[in-house]
Structure 1
Amino acid sequence: MLSEFCNQLYDALRSRIIHVIHLETLAELVTILKIEMVEEHVKNSARELATFETVCTQMLEDVQERLVYRTQVYIRDEILRYNPSPGDVAYPEKLEMMQKIAQSLKEQRKGRRPSQSSTDSSSNEVFFETIVGTDIPVLSSASTLSPRDGQTSSASPADLHGMWYPTVRRTLVCLSKLFRCLDRNIFQGLSQETLTMCVQSLIKASDLIIKRKTSSDGRLFLIKHLLILREQIAPFSVDFAVKEMVLDFSKLKEAAMKFLTQRSKFLSLHRDNAFLEFLLQGTLQVKESFIDSKREVDKQLKQSCESYISDISTQLCGNIQQYLQKAQVILKMNDENNNTNIQKVSLRLQPFAKPDVLHEIIIENYNYLKKHLPDILKTMNLYLANRDTEQILFKPIKISLLISMATTK
C-alpha cells in the first residue's frame, strides 16, 4: 500500500517539477529532498520507509537533472547572450557617481553629533535586488558606503556588489547555489562552462566601453572584474577543469580523398589496393582535451594587464619611442654596412636627432607626463581601489618609461 501511494505521489510531483524554471526554487527543492527528507527523516526509519526513500531519491535525481538543464539555459541566455544596457557599460561615470555619494555620506557623518550618528539607522539599511529569470537575491548594504565613526571604509565603489557587472553577479550567485545541490563532477562541468561564458561576456562589455570611452577604461574594467572572479571562485574547493573527448576525422577525410583519386587501384591484387588502404588508414581517432576555466581567467587577466601596460607606456612616452624607432633604423643600417665600403650615416646629422629637436621632445614628454600621469593614477585607483594591485600594474609602466628615457642619452 505504501509503495502504491509513493508511486502516485511521485507521478503527481514529477509533473510539477519538470515545469519549474526558477533556479532558486529548484535549488531549494534539492535541499529539502536531500537533507530534510532523505538524510534527516528517512534515515531514522530506514526499514519502514525504504520505499519512500526510493521515491525521494528518484525525485531528487529528477530535480537535479532539471536544475542542470535550467542552469545551462540560464547561463546561455542571461550570461553569454546578455545584452548590456547603456547603464551597464557607463564607466567610469558609475564609479565616479558612487565615489561622490560615498564622499558625501562621509562628510555628513563627520558633521553629525556622536549621539545622532550612533542612532542613525540608515547605515544599517539592506537592499535586495533579484536576478532576472530567477528568484536569487543579491545583498547590498548601505553600511559599505558610510562606515561607522572611527572606521575607514575598505570597500570602494568598484567593490560593491551592486557595481559588479550583471553577468559576474549572476555567475557567482549561480555557482554558490549549484555548489550545495549537485555532485562534485557535475558541478565542475557546469562551473567550467559558466566561467567561460562569463569571461566572454566581460570581454564583450570591455569592447563596448573601449568604443564608448577609452581603451584604458575598457582594460581596467576587464582587469577589475577578472580579479573579482578569481577571488570569488577561490573558496570553491573544486577544479574548474573538464576533460573532453573529441573525435578526429582528419585521417578519415584524407583516406577517403585518396581512395576516390585512386579508382584504378580499387580491385588491384597487390598491397597498393586502394580499398585496403582506406580500411587501414581511414580510422577515427579519439583525442582528449583539458579545459581549465581558472587558467583561462588567469590567462585573460594577464593579457588584459599586458595590453593596458602597453597602451599606457605608449601614451606616456610615445614621442620618445618614435624617436628611438627612427634611431634604431639608422643604427641597424650602420651595423649592416660595417663590412662594406659604404660610408656610415651619422645619427647626429639627421633632422630628427639634432640636439635641439631631441631636447624639445624630452621637454614635451616631460610636460605631458606631469599633466596626465596623475589622471592615469587616479583612474587606476577608481577602478582597482587596491594599492598593491595598482603598484604591481604600474611598475612595468614605470620601468618602460625609465628605459625609454635612459636610451635617449
Structure 2
Amino acid sequence: MAAMNVPPQPKASVPVPKSGAVSKGYNFASNWEQNAPLTEQQQAAIVALSHAVAERPFPPNLKSQEHVAGGDNGLPISMKDDNVEDSSAIETVLVNTNQFYKWFTGLEAAMKSETEEKYQHYVSSLTEQIQTCDGILNQVDETLELFNDLQSQHQAVAIKTKTLHDACDRLLMEKRRLIEFAESLHSKLNYFDELENVATSFYSPSMNVGNENFLPLLKRLDECISYVESNPQYAECNVYLVKFRQLQSRALSMIRAHVLSVLKSASSQVQAAIRSSAGGKAAISEAVEASVIYVRFKAAANELKPILEEIEIRRPRKEYVQILAECHKLYCEQRLSLVKGIVQQRISEFSKKEELPSLTRSGCAYLMQVCLLEHQLFSYFFPSSSEDISSLAPLTDPLCTFLYDTLRPKLIHETNLDVLCELVDILKVEVLGEQLSRRGESLAGLRPTIDRILADVHERLTFRARTHIRDEIANYLPLDEDLDYPSKLEQSAEQKTESTSNDQKSDVSHTWYPPLEKTISCLSKLYQSLEPTVFTGLAQEAVEFCSISIQKASKLVSKRSSTMDGQLFLIKHLLILREQIAPFDIEFSATYKELDFSHMLEQVRRILRGQTNLFDWSRSTSLARTLSPRILESQIDAKKELEKSLKVTCEEFIMSVTKLVVDPMLSFVTKVTAVKVALSSGVQDQKKESSIAKPLKDQAFATPEKVAELIDKVNTAVQNELPKVMLKMKLYLQNPSTRAILFRPIKTNIVEAHVQVQSLLKSEYSKEDIESIMEKFSIQDLQTQLDKLL
C-alpha cells in the first residue's frame, strides 16, 4: 500500500461550556455589533482574512513520505519533525495493513491529540477567561450590591438630612415665634413697667403743668390706661388700672389748678386795668371796655392754649370730658366776674332812658354784641368746644337774665296791644329772624332767653287780647252817636264829597260800629304776633262776639230809626266783617267741652227710692258711674254763624222790601188761592157756598175796579217807595255789586207778583176787563223801570 498523507480530520468540536460570562460576552458582542457596526472596508478585510485561513496548512513537524526500499512486503515511512529540538525522527516501516491501520490509528490519535491539545488549550484559555469574566462579573455584582447598599445608605442619609433640615426649619420657626412672642410680651409688659416711671415723674417736686415732659407723660399714661382697660384678662390688671387712674387723677388735678391759677391771674390783671382806665369814674366807654376786658384777657391767657388744646384732643375719654367741662366752668366764672357788673349797669341805663320797645331793641342789641365777643374769646381758648353752645351757657345765661329781669316787670304792667305787638315784631323779626339767624352759633346762647321773653310777651298779649275782646267787643255799651244811623252815614257822605273835592282821602272805618272796628283792628295786630293755634281761638271769639254785638246794635237801630235801617245796618256790618276776616287763613271754629251732670239727679232719686243699690259696683247704676259726669263736646264755627246771620238778615230785608212794594198784590193772590181751595174742597155751609160760588170778578175783593186800584197802588209804590229804599241801600252799601246782588231777588219778587196777577186776570176775567184793568200796566215797562233804579 502506498503511503499517503491523510489530512487530519477535524476533531469533533468540543462544546464550550456555557456560563454567565459567555452569555454576557455574547450579549456584549451583539450589543457591540448593533451599537458599533463595521464599515464596508472593515468587513472586506475580515472576508479576505477568512479566505486566507480557510485552508489549514500541513503541520510543520510532518515531512513528505519517503519510500523505503526493502521489498514488496514493507512500506517504509519516515517522518521527521524539523521543529523538534532534539531532531529526532519517527521512522516507521509499514509491513501490512494492520501496521498501516495501527500506524494510521496512532497517527490519527497523534493528530487528534495534537488538534485537541490546541483546542483544549483554547478551551482552557477561554475557560480561564470565562472564569476571569465570571470573577469580574462577581466583583461587578458585588460592586453593584455595594453601590446599591451605598445608594440605600445615601437615601437613608438624605432622608435623615431632610428630616434634620425640616427639624432645623421648625426650630427656626419656633425660635422666630418665640422671639416675636418675647417681643410682644415685652411690648405688653412695657405698659405695666411704665407705672413706676410715670409715677416717679409725676411725684417729682419739679414736675408741673408747664414742664415740657408733662404732656408726653400724660399721653403715655393715657395709652397705658387704654391698654389695661382693653385687656382685662391679664393678671393684676385691675390693680394696675387703679394705680394708673390715681396718677391720671393727680395729673388732671394739676391741670385744673393750673387753669384756675392762670384765669385768676388774668382776671386780676384785667380788673386792675379796668380800674386804672376808669380813673375814678363810675363807668368806662365801650371802646375801653372791649380793649381791656377782651384784648388784654386774651393776651394774658396765651399760656393756657397748649394744655387746653391737648385736653380737647382727648375729649372722647370721659375723664377729659369732665376736666374740660370743669375748665369751661372755671372760665365762665372768671369771665362772669368781669363782665356782669358792666352788663347790668348798661341794661339799667337803657331801662331808665327808654320805653319798653326801644329798651327791648337796645338791650337785645347790646347783649348780642356781648355774646358775640364772648363767643370769639371762648373760641380762642377752646377752639373745638365753641360749637357746643351749652359750654358757654354758665356765662351767657346770667348775662341774659339781667335783660329778662329788667323786661319782665314792664311786660306784666303793659296793657297796650300795639306795644305788645311791636315787642313781638322786634323779638321775632329783628332779633330772632335777622340777627340770630345770620350770626348762627355765635349768638346761639342768647336764643333761650329771647324765646323766654317772647313767650312772656305772647302770654301777656293773649291775656290782653282776651280782655280787649271781652271789654271792648263783647261787653261794649254803645253811645248815642254809635247808633245814630242813617244820620252818621249821611254826614260821612257829605264829608267824603268835601274831601274828594279837596283831593283828600276819607277814612270809611269811622262809620263802622265801634266793636266791628275794634275787632278788625285787634285781629290785624294779632295775626302776625301770635301762634296760629292761639290766634285761631281768639279770632273765633272776636268774630262771634262782634257778630252778636252787631246784632244787638241792629235791634237798637231798628227801634231808634226804622226796621229797614236796622236790617241794612246789620247787613252792612256783617258784610264788612266777612270781607275783613277773609284774608286770615284760619278756621274760625272752636270745640268746647263741658261736663254734664243732668243724669245724676234721676240716678240719685232711684237710689233714694231703693230701686238701685249705691254700692253695687258691678251694675251700670253703681256709685262710680252715677257720680261720673258726661263730657259734652260742641263745635262752633264763627264764620259759618256769620254767614248764616247774614243770609237770614238779607232774606228778611228782601221780604220786607217786597212786601212794602207789592203787598196788595200778595194779599190779592192769597185771597184768590184761598177761594180756589175752598171751592175744590166742597164747603157745606150754604152762606159761604153762595158767596164762594160766584165768579172771581164778582167777588167783592176781586172786582175789576178793585184789581185796577191795587195795581195802581203797587205801581205808585214802585215809583215812590222803591227809589227811597234804593237810596237808603246806596247809603248803607257802598259797593254797587253788593246792591245789585241784594236788589236782584227784590226785582224778581216784584215782577213775579205782577206775572201772577196777570195770569189770574187772563184766566178769570174777560178781555174787556183785562184791557180796562191793565190799561197802564206792562211787565216790560216794569222791568225797565226797575233796572233804572240801579
Q: Report TM bin, short chain.
A: 0.7 to 0.9
Show the counterpart of 1:199. Answer: 547
User: Aligned partners of 2:602, 2:628: CA distance in 1, in Å?
Assistant: 10
Match of 1:230 in 2: 578
Whether the 8 Å CA contact 2:499–2:505 is kept in 1: the answer is: no
1:364 alignment partner in structure 2: 713
- Which runs of structure 2 are paired with 1:88-107 in the superposition (5 Å)? 88-104=482-498
Deviation of 1:265 (Å): 4.3
Question: Does the 8 A contact of 1:189 with 1:240 survive in 2?
Answer: yes
Q: CA deviation at 1:286?
A: 2.8
The residue type paired with residue 434 of structure 2 is: E
Q: 1:318 aligns with which of 657, 663, 666?
A: 663
Alignment check: 8 A CA contact 2:526 2:535 kept: yes
- Say if 2:554 is the partner of 1:209: no
Secondary structure, aligned partner of 2:483: coil
Counterpart residue identity of residue 574, structure 2:
L
Deviations, residues 51-81 of structure 1 (Å, cap 9, x unaligned): 4321211111111001001011111111122
Aligned length: 360
1:221 is aligned to 2:582 = no
Q: CA deviation at 1:322?
A: 2.5
Q: Percent identity?
A: 35
The equivalent residue for 1:302 is: 647
1:249 aligns with 2:597: yes
Point out the structure with max Rg over C-alpha.
2
Deviation at 1:267, TM superposition (A): 7.4
Distance 1:91 1:267 in 2: 63
Matched, 1:377 2:377: no
Q: How does 1:24-173 map to 2 (within 5 A)?
A: 24-104=418-498, 109=501, 123=503, 142-144=504-506, 160-173=508-521
**Cα distance in 2 between the residues matched to 1:372 and 1:267:** 72
1:319-358: CA deviations, max 9, x gaps? Answer: 2223333333332222322799994723444322222222
Residues 364 and 33 of structure 1: CA distance in aligned 2, closer, same or farther (over 3 Å): same
Following superposition, the deviation at residue 264 of structure 1 comes to 5.2
Contact 2:590–2:635 under 8 Å retained in 1: yes
1:47 shift after superposition: 4.2
AA aligned to 1:373 is: L
Equivalent pair of 2:617/2:624 in contact (CA under 8 Å): no
Which structure has the higher relative contact order (CA within 8 Å, separation 6+)? 1
Residue in structure 1 matched with residue 414 of structure 2 by the alignment: 20
Is the 8 Å Cα contact of residues 483 and 556 (structure 2) preserved in structure 1? yes
TM-score by length of 1: 0.79
Q: Take 2:495 and 2:611, find their aligned partners in 1: how far apart are those partners?
A: 83
Post-superposition Cα deviations, 1:254-295, rounded to whole Å, max 9, x if no partner, equal: 4334333x3254379999x7953x655665333332221211
Contact 2:660 2:717 in 1 (8 A): no
Q: Which runs of 5+ in 2 are unaligned?
A: 1-335, 337-395, 761-790
Change (3 A) 1:394 1:257: farther
> 1:148 corresponds to which residue?
none
Distance 1:11 1:281, change over 3 A: same
The CA deviation at 1:381 is: 1.6
Q: What residue number does 1:392 align with? A: 741
Q: CA RMSD in A?
A: 2.8
The 3 A distance-change label for structure 1 pair 385 and 46 is closer
Aligned-partner residue type, residue 169 of structure 1: E
Give the direction of change, closer, same or farther, for the CA distance of 1:13–1:398 in structure 2 (3 Å limit): same
- 1:115 maps to none
SS in 1 for 2:631: strand
1:316 deviation in Å?
Answer: 0.9
TM-score normalised per structure 2: 0.43
Q: Distance in 2 between matches of 1:263 and 1:302?
A: 54
Task: Mark the CA change 1:58 to 1:370 in structure 2 (over 3 Å): closer, same or farther.
Answer: same
In 1, Cα distance between equivalents of 2:614 and 2:657: 69
1:5–1:309 Cα change, 3 Å: same
Unaligned runs of 5+ in 1: 110-121, 124-141, 145-158
